[in-house]
Amino acid sequence: MPNALYARRLMSAAEAAALIPSGARVAMGLGFSQPPALLAALADRARAGQVDDVSLYYLLSTGIAGQTVLIDELMGRIRPVSLFHSAIERGLEARARAAGRPNPVTFIPTGFQATPRVLREAGVDTLICTVSPMDADGFFSFGTNTDYSKPVSAHVGRILLEVNPAMPRVFGDCTVHVSRITAVVENHTPLLELPVAEPTPNDLAIGGLIADMIEDGSTLQMGIGALPNAVCAALGDRRDLGLHTEMLTPGLARLMQDGVITNARKTLHPGKGVFSFCMGTRATYDYLDGNRDLEAYPVDYVNDPAVIARNDRMVSVNATLQVDLTGACCSEHLNGRQFTASGGQLDFVRGAWASAGGRSIIACHSTAAKGTVSRIVARLDGPVTTPRNDVHIIVTEHGRAELKGKSDAQRARALIAIADPRFRDELERAAREAGLV
């Protein structure tokens, strides 16, 4: 029966894209689950004037979308609705400004945990994404990207899947049955890979400071980039760490392979590493494929602070762009423009703090622009991503500042002490003028 259903739904990318009508509200898979053949076919239809006014909802576009549906000539026919910017959206916006055109990208501020509800209430009616091949029972695995794809698949009327044997099969709550599928397109192509960034000396210094706060038996959440990789690299002598993270990274996978993360002492999903999406190398995907020690769940579960808090000794590690003298963090704006988005930072900040013995750590280099600008500032240049009420520990290469339960004056002095020495006098003056000290 599953094979017969599969055969009836199997078609070309052009035939599948023709099922998306004008005015559709389409959820596109996050990151590396964006389906190249389907998106190229949808772009061809838009270019030919065969479809119009398609709203495309998503987080974190990659070159797959940036070379097909998210190009200047298709703006208007395809309307990007971004919940997390990448270089693709920043480029579209910059070129529109330079040409005197209206901003073609709609941005929706939201936390990652709320994404499935936001998409449902926005009236999203179509899902397009890449999945692993169907199993004998008729289920496709969402592979690297359960996140919002799984919950969206439960309510939309059209599901267009691009089946790729390179997509790892994963376990957990991360499948969709062929009976729910509108169209299947087969496309065997390598998955995109995330280069492993080399840590700088400052990354290594921050990584060491953070690693010193992580005890045996702790459960980890890590963000993306060289700094979290540096933290992972400093944890080689820990025992029985656990994993509950929105993003599975190469550094975290390596800790599992090395026996540092065993998940043996977890209080939630003991014995299992839990994640919602993965961005890594081919080696990461090969490790993930068929690995029953890892389980993927929807982001409205993984990032629910109440769920996160059920992991004792939860440690969340995230990065920010600016911290003001009271501890508020802006992690998404740069030079007055939307740069990324809040993602799951606040979800894990709150969940880790509520955990028994948990710690929420936000890290940043003390300076930017080659040392000419302090990241610790009197006032933020953009929106507050993590409010001062929620911030627990801030770490720079100069030390750590524990802010929970501290007064404004204590916070300001602790943050000035971990700022770059060249900016401390200036920050002291700003704190006095603001009446903080």
pLDDT digits (tens, 9 = 90+) for 378-416: 999 999 999 999 999 999 999 999 999 999 999 999 999
- In this prediction the pTM is 0.96
Low-confidence ranges of the chain (pLDDT < 70): none
Yes or no: say if 349 and 316 are a contact pair by the CB < 8 Å rule. yes
CB-based contacts of 410, cutoff 8 Å, min separation 6: none
> pLDDT tens across 140-175, in order?
999 999 999 999 999 999 999 999 999 999 999 999
In angstroms, the CA 352 to CA 325 distance is 23
Yes or no: say if 254 and 231 are a contact pair by the CB < 8 Å rule. no
Yes or no: say if 56 and 46 are a contact pair by the CB < 8 Å rule. no
pLDDT in the model for residue 143: 98
Helix, strand, or coil (residue 186):
strand
All domains in the chain, ordered by first residue: 2-186 (3.40.1080.10), 201-433 (3.40.1080.20)
Q: Specify whether 246 is catalytic.
A: yes
Active-site entry in 246, 295, 332, 397: 246
Helices (H), 2-58: 2-9, 13-17, 36-47
pLDDT in the model for residue 177: 98
Residue bearing tokens 């996050």: 30
Three-point CA angle 393, 397, 399, nearest 5°: 50
Yes or no: say if 343 and 320 are a contact pair by the CB < 8 Å rule. no
CB-based contacts of 251, cutoff 8 Å, min separation 6: 196, 222, 228, 229, 231, 232, 233
Yes or no: say if 365 and 399 are a contact pair by the CB < 8 Å rule. no
Q: Let me know if 96 is exposed, middle or buried by CB neighbors in 10 A (0-12, 13-18, 19+).
A: middle
Residue type, 225: G
CB-based contacts of 341, cutoff 8 Å, min separation 6: 59, 82, 83, 84, 85, 107, 109, 110, 332
Provide the CB-side half-sphere exposure for 207 (13 A, CA).
Answer: 22
In angstroms, the CA 341 to CA 82 distance is 9
Provide the CB-side half-sphere exposure for 338 (13 A, CA).
Answer: 23
pLDDT in the model for residue 196: 80
In angstroms, the CA 176 to CA 102 distance is 39
Helix, strand, or coil (residue 239):
coil
- DSSP 8-state class, residue 297: -
Residue type, 364: C
pLDDT in the model for residue 135: 97
CB-based contacts of 96, cutoff 8 Å, min separation 6: 72, 75, 102, 103, 104
In angstroms, the CA 417 to CA 400 distance is 9
In angstroms, the CA 332 to CA 319 distance is 10
